[in-house]
Amino acid sequence: MKEKIVLAYSGGLDTTAIIPWLKENYDYDVICACIDCGQAEELDGLEQRAISTGASKCYIVNVVDELCEDYIMPCVKAGAVYENKYLLGTSMARPLIAKKLVEIARKEGAVAICHGATGKGNDQIRFELGIKALAPDLKIIAAWRSDKWNMNSREEEIEYCRKHGIHLPFSADSSYSRDRNIWHISHEGLELEDPANEPNYEHLLVLGVTPEKAPDKETEVSITFESGTPVALNGRKMKVSEIITELNELGGKNGIGIVDIVENRVVGMKSRGVYETPGGTILMEAHDQLEELILDRETMEYKKNIGNKLASVVYEGKWFTPLREALCAFVDSTQKYVTGEAKMKLYKGNIIRAGTTSPYSLYNESLASFTTGDLYDHHDASGFITLFGLSSKVRGLKMQSLEGKNKK
């Protein structure tokens, strides 16, 4: 019997070409594994395509709920945003995909895992760090980094497939390089490769419309949270994946969550892409809105640092590490009382706050009012300012004294 290899399979051009390439160059029994993170219609006909291309078996594993609850929500609770813009849509999914690839490899008795990520991108790092952490004994074949891989363009891959009798349901010409899951869709390539070019949104957008084409009427949204996790949308109890799905629809219609970014990849280069994250943008804004009422100043300030660090850790593919676990443990401890409701209005790309309530709110109207109340005496501020500004005053006196001496 031939040794088995599990291929991370998307059904796109790269992984379609990799099936016969693996059989030809390594003589493996190829088992395809498509991890369904919410790719929607991209999964249509995938199993048949894999088998007809030479795979002996094709797994399609739905992990949408696990992705939402165990990978997306920890990042939402942390406020993890890479370089202030990227909501980590691809980054959060890759460790879960690696985990499932390992599980299938163990079930099948495979000796290796193969992926089609290029040698220039972040995904090769994310996949391989996940596999190394969970199954250090398995071989990893990165097709694009292999000495046996001699295809350097989409046209060459298409010609390779043609020679092997493989019919492709797509062409080489016009498509962006995309990654889609329930949280977002990313777009790279074509005119986006030059930062001087404006994105062709008419051709590009999948999940929604530009703010200019959004309705002239606002859409009201309310999200209810319990311990940092969304549990209801507009008063209806729903699981996290259902809330994200519906928010994607509402946000997409209103031009929410379109980001054009030049980001710093792990491998050292800059890359330009457009991300559509309509539901995620709304959800993170609602969570932030609620936290502002509940968390004290010092915790909020420190948590921002934790969120930034977690964003880097996740972006770099270091999900299965003690550091990621420790960062998430801190975040979880801050979420105990993040319970309440955040109301918003969606209007032409904007998320407008419309009121926030929580039984654990630290906002005290008596304290915040300009009217003097029982809890606050304006005169108390005098002593506070004297002590709080003492170091500034001492330095000022010293500088004043030195200036006087210099004039003499």
Please list the residues that pair with 141 across neighbouring strands.
Answer: 114
State yes or no: pLDDT of 203 exceeds 60.
Answer: yes
Catalytic-residue membership of 123: yes
Find all residues with CB under 8 Å of 45, minimum gap 6, and list them.
Answer: 11, 169
Active-site residue, from 123, 180, 272, 358: 123
Give start and end residues of each alpha helix (H) in 110-227: 123-134, 154-163, 201-204
| Nearest-angstrom CA–CA distance, 54 and 107 | 20
391 known member of a binding site: no
57 and 31 Cβ atoms separated by less than 8 Å: yes
- Token pair 């299965």 is found at 320
Please list the residues that pair with 61 across neighbouring strands.
Answer: 35
Mean pLDDT of the chain: 95
Mean pLDDT along residues 246-266? 98
Catalytic-residue membership of 94: yes
Q: What is the phi/psi pair of residue 385, to 5°? A: -65, -35
27 known member of a binding site: no
What's the pLDDT score for residue 244? 98
Mean pLDDT along residues 366-389? 81
13 known member of a binding site: yes
Find all residues with CB under 8 Å of 236, minimum gap 6, and list them.
Answer: none
| Nearest-angstrom CA–CA distance, 288 and 338 | 10
195 and 272 Cβ atoms separated by less than 8 Å: yes
| 32 CB-contact burial (10 Å; exposed 0-12 / middle 13-18 / buried 19+) | buried
Give start and end residues of each alpha helix (H) in 64-196: 64-67, 73-78, 89-108, 123-134, 154-163
Active-site residue, from 52, 56, 175, 177: 177
The pLDDT tens digits of the residues spanning 302-352 come to 999 999 999 999 999 999 999 999 999 999 999 999 999 999 999 999 999
CATH numbers and ranges of domains, the chain: 4-175 (3.40.50.620), 184-295+338-357 (3.90.1260.10), 374-401 (no CATH)
Residue 174 — pLDDT band, cuts 50, 70, 90?
low
Q: What angle do CA 97, 93, 198 make, to 5 degrees?
A: 130
14 known member of a binding site: yes
State yes or no: pLDDT of 193 exceeds 70.
Answer: yes
Q: What is the DSSP string of 223-236?
A: EEEETTEEEEETTE
What's the pLDDT score for residue 404? 82
212 and 347 Cβ atoms separated by less than 8 Å: no
Q: What is the pTM of this model?
A: 0.93
355 known member of a binding site: no
| 300 CB-contact burial (10 Å; exposed 0-12 / middle 13-18 / buried 19+) | middle
What's the pLDDT score for residue 171? 63
Active-site residue, from 14, 36, 180, 241: 14
What's the pLDDT score for residue 373? 63
| 117 CB-contact burial (10 Å; exposed 0-12 / middle 13-18 / buried 19+) | buried
As separate numbers, helices (DSSP H) first and strands (DSSP E) second, the chain gives 15, 14
Catalytic-residue membership of 296: no
Please list the residues that pair with 237 across neighbouring strands.
Answer: 232
